[in-house]
């Protein structure tokens, strides 16, 4: 049996923060998380010196892997290299479970094609299967609801995926201007002007053309939702409804089988989703920036009202920890509640019952954090697998060497 002891930690538990805690890990699982008592610290314990000890962070939606593969419009790296390169950044951010948001759509201005996304999905799966990754790699399949070719591709990808006890995540999305994320056309016009460096008139022309070219896809949107709903009700996928904006839309996607409301654009949608028992996901960058870049409801305002269950990084994994600690520092919510948004709340969103809290029996995915100059620094991240092997060997070394045969 492998056993590791972490002493003098500020351990963030589900319901409180213990300022001087002892956390024991046995065979990759939490065995104990309790206040230190006299004589309770065994020899060989790792003294954290008051640093924060958190469950490993779970990111339910990050499309940053796309930028890792294509950091510039004319530069593209091989998908497998991009996954390995990106996982180091993720690990350094304290993320131990990463859902890579891979987009099944053809959107050239975003450098997105169905073929590229399928290659990324395959690379993520390969890295997850090799057993030596720095994080638990998973996929969030983002589907353009109006693209029939994208739906056909996703069907093939999911059919080839090995069966697991946790259904894969699928996000049902429609980024047509005038609804969803871009329902505020004035804000969208400003985004287009800035991104494309064009005039207001040219931006308006782009928006009109974008709406017109996607009008014919509206019937496909209904067919897509019907298919995804059938898959969700059969337990073959876990369906997320992206950029929901109204009570009526929540009712529609909920009836179709959606389990999660991702990035609601209005307070009404967030409240209706929560009342319906759907976890609500908001963006950590939204918290750090002080509002939505698309002109929608601010994440902090929703959190203040208790309407958010989970923060995801959206496009920047380092924002997760920073956003949670900012919420606690500002007194928006207590520290344990803020941390739950990126750990246990995220686990519920993803349907992962084995992780997300410092609770006996759960996976010992752990993150050690210090605050330097008011900003967090991740000092150590651990996967449960890295404490399962070896007799008090250096963390993860025994497993890695055994797996690679060195």
- Which residues have C-beta within 8 Å of that of residue 330, sequence separation ≥ 6? none
> Residue 44 belongs to what domain range?
3-54+363-404
- Shared domain for 293 and 400, answered yes or no, is no
Q: Assess if residue 358 is contained within a domain.
A: no
What is the model's pLDDT at position 95? 98
Q: How far apart are the first and last CA of the chain?
A: 22
- State mean pLDDT over 283-291: 94
Cβ–Cβ contacts within 10 Å for residue 201, how many?
9
CATH number of the domain that 139 lies in? 3.20.20.140
Q: Grade residue 331 by pLDDT with cuts at 50, 70 and 90.
A: very high
Q: Are residues 182 and 247 in the same domain?
A: yes
Q: What is the pLDDT of residues 34-91, one digit of tens each?
A: 999 887 788 888 999 999 999 999 999 999 999 999 998 889 999 999 999 999 999 9
Enclosing H/E stretch for 101: strand 95-104
Q: Is residue 166 part of a domain?
A: yes
9, 52 contact by CB (below 8 A): yes
What band does 198 get if pLDDT is binned at 50, 70 and 90? confident
d(CA 287, CA 303): 9
Q: Mean pLDDT throughout 200-229?
A: 74
Judgement on whether residues 123 and 199 belong to the same structural domain of the protein: yes
* 356 falls within a domain: no
Residues 117 and 171 in one domain: yes
Residue 320 shares a structural domain with residue 395: no
Percent of the chain past pLDDT 90, that is, above it, reads: 67
* Residues 126, 23 share a domain: no
Say what the pTM is.
0.89
> What are the contacts of 106-114 at 24+ separation with CB within 8 A?
106/144, 106/147, 106/149, 106/150, 107/144, 107/175, 111/66, 111/70, 111/73, 112/66, 114/149, 114/150, 114/153
Residue 145 shares a structural domain with residue 210: yes
Torsion, CA 37, CA 40, CA 46, CA 49, rounded to 10: 20
> Strand ranges (DSSP E) for 123-215?
136-144, 169-173
Domain count, the chain: 2
For residue 163, is it within any domain?
A: yes
Cα distance between residue 224 and residue 205, in whole Å: 28
Q: Are residues 306 and 197 in the same domain?
A: yes
Q: Does any domain span residue 357? A: no
Q: Are residues 338 and 377 in the same domain?
A: no
Enumerate helices (H) and strands (E) in the chain, giving the number of each.
15, 15
Q: Cβ-count burial of 187 within 10 angstroms (0-12 exposed, 13-18 middle, 19+ buried)?
A: middle
- Count of Cβ atoms closer than 10 Å to residue 107 Cβ: 12
Last residue of a domain, one of 350, 373, 391: 350
Mean pLDDT of all residues belonging to the chain:
88
* Together in a domain, 198 and 276: yes
- How far apart, in whole angstroms, are the C-alpha atoms of residue 167 and residue 285? 27
Domain of 34: which CATH number?
2.30.40.10
Q: Which residues have a Cβ under 8 Å from the Cβ of 217 and sit 6 or more positions away? A: 145, 146, 147, 148
Is pLDDT at 359 greater than 80 in this prediction? yes
């Amino acid at each position: 049996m492998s056993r590791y002891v972490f002493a003098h930690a500020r351990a963030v538990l589900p319901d409180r923060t213990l300022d001087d805690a002892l956390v024991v890990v046995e065979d990759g699982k939490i065995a104990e998380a309790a206040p230190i008592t006299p004589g309770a610290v065994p020899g060989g314990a790792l003294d954290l010196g008051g640093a924060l000890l958190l469950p490993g962070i779970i990111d339910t939606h990050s499309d940053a892997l796309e930028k890792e593969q294509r950091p510039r419009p004319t530069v593209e790296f091989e998908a497998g290299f991009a996954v390995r390169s990106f996982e180091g950044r993720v690990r350094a951010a304290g993320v131990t479970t990463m859902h890579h948001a891979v987009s099944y759509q053809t959107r050239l201005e975003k450098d997105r094609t169905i073929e590229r996304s399928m290659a990324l999905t395959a690379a993520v799966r390969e890295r997850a299967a090799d057993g030596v990754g720095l994080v638990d790699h998973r996929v969030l399949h983002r589907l353009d609801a109006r693209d029939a070719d994208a739906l056909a591709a996703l069907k093939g990808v999911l059919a080839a995926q090995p069966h697991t006890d946790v259904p894969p995540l699928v996000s049902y999305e429609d980024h047509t201007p005038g609804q969803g994320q871009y329902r505020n056309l004035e804000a969208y016009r400003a985004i287009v002007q800035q991104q494309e460096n064009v005039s207001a008139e040219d931006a308006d022309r782009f928006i009109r053309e974008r709406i017109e070219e996607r009008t014919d896809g509206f019937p496909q949107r209904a067919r897509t939702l019907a298919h995804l709903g059938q898959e969700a009700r059969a337990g073959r996928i876990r369906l997320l409804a992206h950029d929901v904006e109204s009570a009526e839309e929540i009712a529609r996607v909920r009836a179709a089988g959606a389990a999660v409301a991702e990035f609601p654009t209005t307070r009404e949608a967030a409240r209706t989703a929560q009342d319906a028992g759907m976890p609500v996901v908001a963006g950590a960058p939204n918290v750090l920036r002080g509002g939505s870049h698309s002109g929608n409801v601010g994440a902090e305002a929703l959190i203040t009202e208790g309407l958010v269950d989970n923060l995801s990084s959206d496009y920047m994994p380092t924002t997760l920890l920073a956003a949670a600690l900012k919420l606690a520092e500002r007194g928006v919510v207590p520290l344990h509640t803020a941390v739950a948004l990126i750990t246990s709340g995220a686990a519920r969103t993803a349907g992962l019952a084995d992780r997300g809290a410092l609770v006996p029996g759960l996976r010992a995915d752990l993150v050690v954090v210090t605050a330097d100059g008011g900003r967090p620094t991740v000092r150590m991240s651990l996967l449960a697998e890295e404490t399962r092997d070896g007799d008090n060997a250096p963390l993860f070394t025994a497993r890695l060497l055994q797996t690679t045969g060195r």
